[in-house]
Amino acid sequence: MTIPVQRPYRGVFPVAPTIFDANGNLDLDGQRRCVDFMIDAGSHGICILANFSEQFVLTDAERETVMHAVLEHVAGRIPVIVTTTHFSSAVCAARSRQAEAAGAAMVMIMPPYHGATFRVPEGSIYEFYQVVSDAISIPIMIQDAPVAGTPLSVDFLARMAKELANIRYFKIEVPMAANKLRGLIEKGGSVIEGPWDGEEAITLMADLDAGATGAMTGGGYPDGIRQIMDPFFAGRRDEAMQAYARWLPLINYENRQCGLHACKVLMREGGVIKSEMVRHPLQPLHPATRAGLIEIARQLDPVVLRWGALIALVALARRLRRSARRCRPICFIYISPPAACSFKGGLGACEQRSLLLIPYHWQIQQSAECPAADPRRLIRNQLQVLEPPEDRGQRNIGHHGARGPRAGAEMRTRAKRDTLAGVAPDIEPVRLVEMLFVAVRRAEHQEHALIGLEDDVPDRPGLCDPPRRHSDRRDPAGILLEGL
């Protein structure tokens, strides 16, 4: 499988959670939606089967199932790092070969450890990584984290990078991470292809200042981490620092209060996944802790809290489009929030934005006045009309064969309710409409661009040509619809 970006890998590579249903079984459909969201939210790549993926509660067969499901679904859109950690050199090498064959861009491996006391000396650690490096041709990321309980000195890490062909990336999560990154870059020089930050980005700014080129964070808000890293690498450190200060309360709450639960809670809250289940003996978050996480997140308006509503709207537009009595284009209204990143997942390659989709014939004002309309009133008005304009005023057949405008209105109300329930069965219709309001209301810049499509909306996202515009208003972001 061809990896879509060139090495060295840089940017935001969050850890994808493993998605379970309410009974604790693998939810592969939810896993795919999770991955689509993470791509849409701006991830440059993702990591699977890490500790934040609950890899320690998976059977070997489940690991393989998740790995293949994710790699096949990503299909080369972004690089995928597969965690292959195991105490056994042979097992770790076999896992790594399997990951490479399946299309992994990199493997991430902790030094061998087991429990609180089983450790091996430095010489054995070197041989362990040598065995794995000799078994594959893709890069290895060493995860230097306290959970392993294995000290890895800067000199030792630099030596392995110089002597072992595929030791090229380092995720540093120990105390004083910035100092270690700085020392590793100085000692290793050009062979240190990827000095990376970790631990939910709690030390991100210090690590970036020390020379970090990547960040492996939790999976809940890649768009927020992009708001820090993008300006930093563009030379706008002051802007990056402001973004870091803005997102730090959420980063801290995840790191200190929630751990691996955080991204699942956010994804469930935003309709990305149906269940935030973690496997026993792990326990769900206390309701008060969960509420605190959501409260902080809502102040930042991350994509995760809007994504489910946007995808439901895609389905709603498709369903209504197919049920229309006449061929009608679809009207897409985009509302630009402050941040921007590329959409390559469920929503397509366009600027990050809140999205409202309505059938074109729902437009009450389809001229230049429409972009300036109040978003909440616009949605409310559109949801009250289901029939094409030329059919309004005609006699309509209502319930039990009754005729007249009132009967037609009753039919339209029932159809609206049934449609909303059908596209998002796990979301109550009232809640779905509420999510639509939130998606629009939270956008800071109320600038709309009207875009129409003549063709039907496909079942699943796929690349398509830029749509024909039905307005003279230019979209400054140059939206390209991929996935609608």
Residues serving a catalytic function are 171
DSSP letter (8 states) at residue 254: I
CB 382 within 8 A of CB 362: yes
In the block, tokens 């941040």 appear at 339
CA distances, 104 to each of 1, 79, 81, 95, 145 (Å): 8, 7, 6, 11, 22
Count of Cβ atoms closer than 10 Å to residue 61 Cβ: 8
CB 5 within 8 A of CB 44: yes
CB 453 within 8 A of CB 467: yes
Count of Cβ atoms closer than 10 Å to residue 202 Cβ: 19
CA distances, 175 to each of 33, 298, 428 (Å): 34, 30, 45
| Count of H-run helices and E-run strands, the chain | 15, 14
CB 156 within 8 A of CB 123: no
**Short-list 30, 73, 68, 29, CA closest to 49:** 68
Q: What is the 3-state secondary structure (H, E, C) of 420-454?
A: HHHHCCCCCHHHHHHHHHHHHHCCCCCCEEEEEEC
- Classify 214 as helix, strand or coil: strand
Q: What are phi and psi of 208, to 5 degrees?
A: -65, -45
DSSP letter (8 states) at residue 283: -
**460: amino acid identity, one letter:** R
CA distances, 168 to each of 40, 133, 162, 176, 384 (Å): 28, 10, 9, 21, 58
Burial of 308: CB neighbours in 10 Å, binned 0-12, 13-18, 19+: buried
Cα(188)–Cα(448) distance, integer angstroms: 50
What is the dihedral angle through the alpha carbons of 111, 113, 116, 122, rounded to the nearest 10 degrees?
Answer: -60
Rg (C-alpha) for the chain, rounded Å, is 25
